[in-house]
A and B are shown apart, each in its own frame.
Chain A
């Protein structure tokens, strides 16, 4: 079956532009996570959804970051007024069961803000 997919794979944005990053999790997966991975670092938690409910958004770095998963499947991470420090790889992961730590990751979207 298909794994987690993300689009676009690469995005270049001028500083101040808004961007939207899409994640298609594995069908039927209840949990969905967004991570930000800076160069040379590990993934850092941004936000978590259980079905359509956003249960934790403590990792979002500012109010310019917004995530949604309106129907409990596809999710979108939106960054408004992008800044250079937003340049990173944004990873989406999903998990079938609650309380299962093993997550399935997508390939990521590399965002470059110029």
Chain B
């Protein structure tokens, strides 16, 4: 039972354009959402998060949008840069101690 789903395994975007990565979840108990970025042979690194009391959170080029009624969140990167090429994982927490559930990841390639 995949509670956090990233249905696009890969995405290619031209440098300077917007990258939009999507994530859907099924567990209505999730109340905190995160995006992690992962380069090959490294562990995931925290990128941005959002609480369920908000519908948008912005940090520089990165914005996360949350649509609770649709159980959907998205990460927007604008403008995209070649250094953004990585695997992006969506993750969700249910208000417990800190346990998070990860999606399967989307590999983003930003083409120069």
Task: For residue B75, give the distance in angstroms from its CB to the closest CB of chain A.
Answer: 15
> Are B45 and A105 within 8 A (Cβ)?
yes
Closest to A6 in B: B43
A32–B100 alpha-carbon span in the complex (Å): 13
A2–B49 alpha-carbon span in the complex (Å): 23
Does B101 touch A at the CB level, under 8 Å?
Answer: yes
> Are B102 and A103 within 8 A (Cβ)?
no
Does A72 touch B at the CB level, under 8 Å?
Answer: no
Counted as pairs of residues, one from A and one from B, with CB atoms less than 8 Å apart, the total is: 63
- Contact A107:B43 (CB < 8 A) given known A42-B89, A98-B97, A99-B98: yes
Closest to A101 in B: B93
Chain A interface bracket (under 10, 10 to 19, 20 to 34, 35 or more):
20 to 34
Does A21 touch B at the CB level, under 8 Å?
Answer: no
A100–B99 alpha-carbon span in the complex (Å): 10
Closest to B104 in A: A42
> Are B102 and A42 within 8 A (Cβ)?
yes
Task: For residue A40, give the distance in angstroms from its CB to the closest CB of chain B.
Answer: 7
Does B32 touch A at the CB level, under 8 Å?
Answer: yes
- Contact A48:B43 (CB < 8 A) given known A42-B103, A101-B34: no
> Are B98 and A98 within 8 A (Cβ)?
yes
Task: Select one of A50, A102, A107 contacting B46, CB under 8 A.
Answer: A102
- Contact A40:B101 (CB < 8 A) given known A93-B43, A105-B43, A107-B43: no
Give residues of chain B (25-42) contacting chain A, Cβ–Cβ below 8 Å.
32, 34, 36, 41-42
Q: Which residues of A contact B41 (CB under 8 A)?
A: 107
> Are A101 and B43 within 8 A (Cβ)?
no
Q: Which residues of B contact A (CB under 8 A)?
A: 4, 32, 34, 36, 41-46, 49, 89, 91, 93, 97-105
Q: Name 5 extra pairs, CB < 8 A, besides A99-B98, A101-B91, A107-B41.
A: A31-B97, A42-B89, A42-B102, A50-B97, A99-B97
Closest A-B pairs by Cβ, 3 of them: A105-B43, A42-B102, A102-B46
